Amino acid sequence: MKRLIDKLYETQSLDISEYRELISGRNDELSDYLFSLSREVREKYYGKSVYIRGLIEYTNYCKNDCYYCGIRRSNKNVSRYRLDKNDIMSCCKEGYELGFRTFVLQGGEDPYFTDERMCGIISDIKNNYPDCALTLSIGEKSRESYKAFFDAGADRYLLRHETADCVHYGKLHPQELSPENRKRCLYDLKEIGYQVGTGFMVGSPFQSAETLAKDMIFLKELQPSMVGIGPFISHKDTPFADKPSGTLELTLFMLGLIRLTLPYALIPSTTALGTIAPNGRELGLKAGANVIMPNLSPVEVRKKYMLYDNKICTGEESAQCIECLKNRVSSVGYEIVTARGDAANYIKNQR
């Protein structure tokens, strides 16, 4: 099995049966070996730096009904909110002062935010903070909408593919959502010129070593700049309320595999990882992650953006959160930096 990890380290690639074999045959010793190499690769390209992204959860209205997600439209227990442009600009101001040079606008798929409204928000942020990168994570849109957001100034886009296996996709989503459209979105975003991020939940219901191996092949094919993975965590008001959550152990293992497969990738150590284990995000950094995405949303709305149960950092002010994170990051020998934090292979004049 070590032989497969060596092969991945040397060639950045395995075939589907090799990924499957590694995932299903993993053990603690193999994981430690993997992490020693994934850390080495991460430090080769990014040193000890950890980039921070200020996450602004600007709406929890969503027209979709994904079976796993706490803010799905059928969840009538959610108290819905939207931030207006002024609220969003205040989050950016606070974030800029705290050292953030990337803002991420994330939300449910909320029809209130028409292309025109979005473009207004995007250009305001970019005019006020020209030295910052702006990332969108607002779901599936038409190619024309993606192009309009890009022309208004958006630099990056996060859209997890969720699972690369079509049958598995159908078990996580209602019929109106299709894996083909999700992938179409990702390729459109790439062609338009965004730095694209994708990813998946680890331990989602009905996932297997086979579907995870397909995820790895898909990542290799898409070549995203960013890959976000985190454990699936059940939410009490969803159809998956009784499904077991994903594990820290498997999430870290997948993180290590992703670092070796895509050495330049920007990989966050996610809030979900910090939710399933108190030191989850620190362990994520030690397995090859190099990004953290603290919450910049106003404290009043944080508890309303509950994608899963027991989400952390919903009671803290942004300043408290960043202080806490600085300590956590330095406890494992890394350092939070103030920088846009583009991928190490990204050429600036691409835009």
Cα-Cα-Cα-Cα torsion 261, 294, 351, 48, nearest 10 degrees, comes to -50
Q: Which amino acid is at 90?
A: S
Rule CB under 6 A: which of 298-317 touch ligand FES? Answer: 313, 316
Residue closer to ligand SAM (CB basis): 138 or 248: 138
Q: Going by C-beta distance under 8 Å and a sequence separation of 6 or more, which residues neighbour residue 110?
A: 59, 61, 62, 63, 82
Identified binder of ligand FES from the candidate list 16, 166, 241, 324, rule CB under 6 A: 324
Cα end-to-end span (Å), the chain: 42
Q: In terms of CB distance, is 227 or 262 closer to ligand SAM? A: 227
Question: Which of ligand SAM, ligand FES, none is residue 139 near (CB under 5 to 8 Å by kind)?
Answer: ligand SAM
Question: How far is 305 from 250, CA to CA, in rounded Å?
Answer: 25
Q: What share of the chain is helix, strand, coil (3-state, %, to 5)?
A: 45, 15, 40
Return phi, psi of residue 227, to 5°. -135, 115
- Burial class of 82 by CB neighbour count within 10 A (0 to 12, 13 to 18, 19+): middle
CB 51 to ligand FES: min, Å: 15
What is the distance between the alpha carbons of residues 46 and 335, in angstroms, rounded to a whole number?
Answer: 11
Per CB under 6 A, the list member of 59, 75, 106, 211 interacting with ligand SAM is: 106
**How far apart are CB 296 and ligand SAM at their closest, in Å?**
15
Give min distance, CB of 307 to ligand SAM, in A: 4
Per-residue binding string, ligand FES, 266-305, x by CB under 6 A, is: ----------------------------x-----------
Residue closer to ligand FES by CB (options 285, 313) is 313
| Position 235 contacts ligand SAM (CB under 6 A) | yes
Looking at the Cβ atoms of 149 and 305, the one nearer to ligand FES is 305
Q: How many residues does the chain have?
A: 351
Residues in contact with ligand FES by CB under 6 A are: 294, 313, 316, 321, 324-325
